């Protein structure tokens, strides 16, 4: 049995062709391109898939970049979106993720989604992506990282498409704690960073 090496790094203009391979697999990511939380519902419906793809291309070409990419050996296998909470206008409008009194806002980064290629699932890719997302946020000045996972322990029938936020157990394995449960199947989880 051969050993495989996983690595995660911030996505860049240079890694864009590899990121396109991750998003080019069948599934919702091939049309969303991680723009759902960036746009209003009307804006999202008014954009084409090509426009969303171009938007992510621009968001991964700047600094800090909009997320991290994972490779298994030299093959791109996954992506996680992570940016300051303020970069995601949709989070503030959602009843699940909007701010409540006392919630952090400054220096808060949000991990909003995971994309793992179908042929690379069940290999720990999401766990590595979450670790890479936390390190990217930390190195960019975040003091708190927040996630919005689903809880298949409450509803085991959650589809793979519904798990793009990550799962409660994934975030727990990364050191995150549940701070509130806005619905039976969703949690707000946070990790404080020592910067």
Condensed to tens digits (0 to 9), the pLDDT of residues 63-81 reads 889 999 999 998 999 999 9
> What are 148-187's pLDDT values in tens digits?
999 988 887 777 777 788 999 999 999 999 999 999 899 9
> Does the pTM of the predicted model rise above 0.85?
yes
Tokens of 83: 């940016």
The residue with tokens 């909003």 is 112
| Per-residue buried b or exposed e for 156-169, using 16+ beta carbons within 10 Å of the residue's own CB | eeeeeeebbbbbbe
| pLDDT tens track for 116-146 | 887 778 878 899 999 999 999 999 999 999 9
Q: What's the rounded Cα separation, in Å, for the pair 11 and 68? A: 5
Q: Tokens standing for 1? A: 């049995």
Domains and CATH numbers, the chain: 6-192 (3.40.630.30)
Give the separation between CA 127 and CA 173, rounded to whole angstroms.
8
Strands in the chain per DSSP E: 6-10, 67-72, 75-84, 108-116, 144-147, 177-183, 186-192
- Please, which residues have CB within 8 angstroms of residue 165's CB and are 6 or more apart in sequence? 112, 113, 114, 147, 148, 149, 150, 186
């Amino acid at each position: 049995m051969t050993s495989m090496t996983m690595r995660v790094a911030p996505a860049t203009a240079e890694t864009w062709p590899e990121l396109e391979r991750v998003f080019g697999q069948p599934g919702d990511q091939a049309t969303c391109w991680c723009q759902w939380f960036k746009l209003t519902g009307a804006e999202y419906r008014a954009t084409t898939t090509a426009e969303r793809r171009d938007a992510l291309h621009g968001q991964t070409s700047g600094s800090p970049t909009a997320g991290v990419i994972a490779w298994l050996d030299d093959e791109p296998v996954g992506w996680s979106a992570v940016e300051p909470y303020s970069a995601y206008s949709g989070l503030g409008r959602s009843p699940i993720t909007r701010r409540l009194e006392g919630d952090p806002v400054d220096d808060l980064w949000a991990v909003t989604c995971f994309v793992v290629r179908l042929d690379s699932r069940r290999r720990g890719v999401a766990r590595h992506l979450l670790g890479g997302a936390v390190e990217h946020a930390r190195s960019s000045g975040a003091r708190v990282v927040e996630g919005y996972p689903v809880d298949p322990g409450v509803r085991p029938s959650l589809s793979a498409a519904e798990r793009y936020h990550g799962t409660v157990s994934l975030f727990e394995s990364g050191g995150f704690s549940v701070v509130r449960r806005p619905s039976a199947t969703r949690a707000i989880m946070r990790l404080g960073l020592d910067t």
